[in-house]
């Protein structure tokens, strides 16, 4: 990497801007002597619930555990099916497998790359319990159509908000439209910890309570060693919660920067025949965890950008149904054409709140050079 390289993401730049605050909060958490289910975790849960507009937030150890605990709390068990988009990070599907249920896949919408309600409707069977729309890259899924489908078929909805902190659908925050939602605080996410962390949000006190028990060995409420359920260890560390509390205070301004930079990209890259992300209308707002363009010549563009000192990345190169891990589901190439096409054409360009507008313009110049 030369000094002029513009990376795809830059976690160090974020840390440098917050180093004093972060060191202070980590020391405070260390000095407290309470490292698990302590005051930082509790305060973070309250602050995160407030920021998402949900009634309850439960801190857990990752986005993946948030998904599987939520499924378990909603009563998903072996023999059940859960509808998952064919184009997502694989954890949306593996969380279903982790509770012993089977993912049933649905194709994605060609514009938003989020769960296609018609394809989802076709995938529903008598065994289906839950729909898990993913607000991929920060782009809102069509929650009107998906929640209507869930109501019609008696299903629950678990929003995968791992990439969707502060995404809006018709003015409503991602995470508040389904029965439950799972957030990831993987370090590169819009709100990232200094390690693995996640949270479940829900409007239901009962479901939040179940998740609190499940993350903590299935303990009976108020009991030390009576275990009501078979739970695991999926708790959020207080050290991570302390870091997240500091970063949460900056989240709104970071998302604002992401949106501003995305608008510059869209303006500079128009007229090249690329598929560009939708900035949002009618109260929809993308939160730009990733800025992803689509082009048939993705691999050529990627090579050119790398040679020009521009970081870029593919999210994701293999759709869920073609993953070796899911061979047993019996899907084949051609089953989900939009997901397959997206996996061949997507390319993420550099985007992080500290990125300068001039750097975005330099990236765009390199893209334009390729298409000349
Ligand atoms: C869409 C999606 N779902 C789930 C996850 C899982 O989150 P974690 O890595 O925190 O387990 C991720 C994280 O990359 C994700 O992008």
* CB atoms near residue 249 (< 10 Å): 12
Specify the pLDDT at position 320. 98
Q: Which atom of ligand 1 is nearest to the CA of 197?
A: 10
Q: Rounded to the nearest whole angstrom, what is the distance from the C-alpha of residue 276 to the centroid of ligand 1? A: 23
Range(s) within the chain of domains with CATH label 3.40.640.10: 11-245
Q: Which atom of ligand 1 is nearest to the CA of 134?
A: 1
Q: Rounded to the nearest whole angstrom, what is the distance from the C-alpha of residue 271 to the centroid of ligand 1? A: 33
- Cα separation, 244 vs 241, in Å, equals 5
Residue 10 has pLDDT above 80, yes or no: yes
Specify the pLDDT at position 2. 47
- Please identify which residue in the block is written with the tokens 């370090």: 187
DSSP letter at 139 equals P
Which two three-digit tokens encode residue 321?
Answer: 């149904």
Task: Decide the pairing of beta strands 168-169 and 172-173.
Answer: antiparallel
89 lines ligand 1 (CB under 6 A): yes
163 lines ligand 1 (CB under 6 A): yes
- Cα separation, 69 vs 177, in Å, equals 18
Residues contacting 70, CB < 8 A, separation 6+: 158, 180, 181, 182, 200, 202, 207, 211
Residue 338 has pLDDT above 80, yes or no: yes
Q: Rounded to the nearest whole angstrom, what is the distance from the C-alpha of residue 273 to the centroid of ligand 1? A: 31
CA distances from 214 to 35, 71, 194, 230, 307 (A): 19, 11, 24, 7, 48
Q: Tell me the per-residue pLDDT of 238-287, one tens digit each, with 9 for 90 and over.
A: 999 999 999 999 999 999 999 999 999 999 999 999 999 999 889 999 99
64 lines ligand 1 (CB under 6 A): yes
Write the residue with the smallest CA distance to atom 7 of ligand 1: 63
Residue 107 has pLDDT above 60, yes or no: yes
Q: Rounded to the nearest whole angstrom, what is the distance from the C-alpha of residue 256 to the centroid of ligand 1? A: 22
What's the mean pLDDT in 108-129?
A: 98
Write the residue with the smallest CA distance to atom 8 of ligand 1: 63
CA distances from 300 to 97, 295, 314, 347 (A): 36, 10, 13, 11
202, containing H or E segment? strand 198-202
CA distances from 121 to 80, 153, 155, 156, 229 (A): 16, 9, 11, 14, 33
Task: Decide the pairing of beta strands 156-160 and 291-294.
Answer: unpaired
Q: Tell me the per-residue pLDDT of 135-156, one tens digit each, with 9 for 90 and over.
A: 999 999 999 999 999 999 999 9
Mutation pick for ligand 1 pocket among 89, 133, 319 (CB with most ligand atoms within 8 Å): 89
Range(s) within the chain of domains with CATH label 3.90.1150.10: 250-371
Mutation pick for ligand 1 pocket among 82, 162, 237 (CB with most ligand atoms within 8 Å): 162
Q: Rounded to the nearest whole angstrom, what is the distance from the C-alpha of residue 63 to the centroid of ligand 1? A: 5
Specify the pLDDT at position 1. 44
| Mean per-residue pLDDT over the chain, rounded | 97
Architecture of 11-245 per CATH? Answer: 3-Layer(aba) Sandwich (3.40)
| Cβ proximity of 122 and 336 under 8 Å | no
Q: How many residues does the chain have?
A: 372
What's the mean pLDDT in 154-168?
A: 98
The confidence band for 4, taking pLDDT boundaries of 50, 70 and 90, is confident
132 lines ligand 1 (CB under 6 A): no
What's the mean pLDDT in 332-343?
A: 98
Q: Rounded to the nearest whole angstrom, what is the distance from the C-alpha of residue 234 to the centroid of ligand 1? A: 15
3-class DSSP state for residue 30? helix
- Cα separation, 237 vs 29, in Å, equals 10
Task: Decide the pairing of beta strands 128-131 and 81-85.
Answer: parallel
Q: Tell me the per-residue pLDDT of 284-328, one tens digit each, with 9 for 90 and over.
A: 999 999 999 999 999 999 999 999 999 999 999 999 999 999 999
- Cα separation, 208 vs 55, in Å, equals 9
Residue 7 has pLDDT above 80, yes or no: yes
Q: Rounded to the nearest whole angstrom, what is the distance from the C-alpha of residue 88 to the centroid of ligand 1? A: 9
Q: Rounded to the nearest whole angstrom, what is the distance from the C-alpha of residue 282 to the centroid of ligand 1? A: 27
| Domain topology for 250-371 | 3.90.1150
Q: Rounded to the nearest whole angstrom, what is the distance from the C-alpha of residue 68 to the centroid of ligand 1? A: 12
What's the mean pLDDT in 94-100?
A: 98
Q: Tell me the per-residue pLDDT of 35-72, one tens digit each, with 9 for 90 and over.
A: 999 999 999 999 999 999 999 999 999 999 999 999 99
Specify the pLDDT at position 340. 98
63 lines ligand 1 (CB under 6 A): yes
């Amino acid at each position: 990497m030369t000094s002029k390289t513009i990376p795809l993401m830059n976690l160090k730049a974020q840390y440098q801007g917050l180093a004093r605050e972060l060191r202070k909060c980590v020391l405070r958490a260390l000095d407290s002597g309470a490292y698990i289910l302590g005051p930082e975790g509790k305060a973070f849960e309250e602050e995160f619930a407030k920021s998402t507009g949900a009634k309850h937030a439960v801190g857990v150890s990752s986005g993946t555990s948030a998904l599987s605990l939520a499924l378990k709390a909603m009563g998903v068990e072996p023999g059940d099916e859960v509808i998952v988009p064919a184009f997502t990070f694989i954890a949306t599907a593996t969380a279903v497998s982790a509770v012993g249920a089977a993912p049933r896949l649905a194709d994605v919408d060609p514009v938003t790359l989020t769960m296609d309600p018609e394809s989802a409707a076709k995938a529903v069977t008598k065994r289906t319990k839950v729909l898990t729309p993913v607000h991929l890259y920060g782009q809102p899924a069509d929650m009107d159509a998906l929640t209507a489908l869930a109501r019609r078929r008696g299903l629950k909805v678990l929003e995968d908000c791992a990439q969707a902190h502060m995404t809006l659908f018709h003015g409503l925050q991602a995470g508040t439209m389904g029965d439950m939602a799972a957030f990831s605080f993987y370090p590169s996410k819009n709100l990232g910890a200094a390690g693995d962390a996640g949270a479940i949000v829900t409007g239901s006190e009962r479901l939040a309570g179940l998740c609190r028990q499940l993350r903590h060995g299935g303990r009976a409420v108020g009991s030390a060693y009576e275990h009501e359920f078979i739970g695991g260890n999926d708790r959020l560390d207080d050290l991570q919660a302390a870091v997240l509390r500091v970063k949460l205070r900056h989240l709104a301004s970071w998302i604002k920067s992401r949106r501003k930079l995305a608008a510059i990209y869209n303006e500079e890259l128009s007229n090249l025949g690329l598929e560009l992300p939708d900035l949002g209308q009618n109260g929809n707002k993308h939160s730009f965890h990733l800025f992803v363009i689509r082009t048939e010549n993705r691999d050529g563009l990627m090579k050119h950008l790398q040679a020009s000192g521009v970081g870029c990345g593919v999210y994701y190169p293999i759709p869920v149904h073609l993953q070796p891990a899911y061979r047993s589901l019996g899907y084949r190439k051609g089953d989900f054409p939009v997901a397959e096409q997206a996996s061949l054409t997507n390319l993420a360009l550099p985007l992080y709140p500290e990125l300068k507008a001039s750097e975005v313009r330099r990236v765009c110049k390199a893209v334009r050079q390729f298409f000349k």
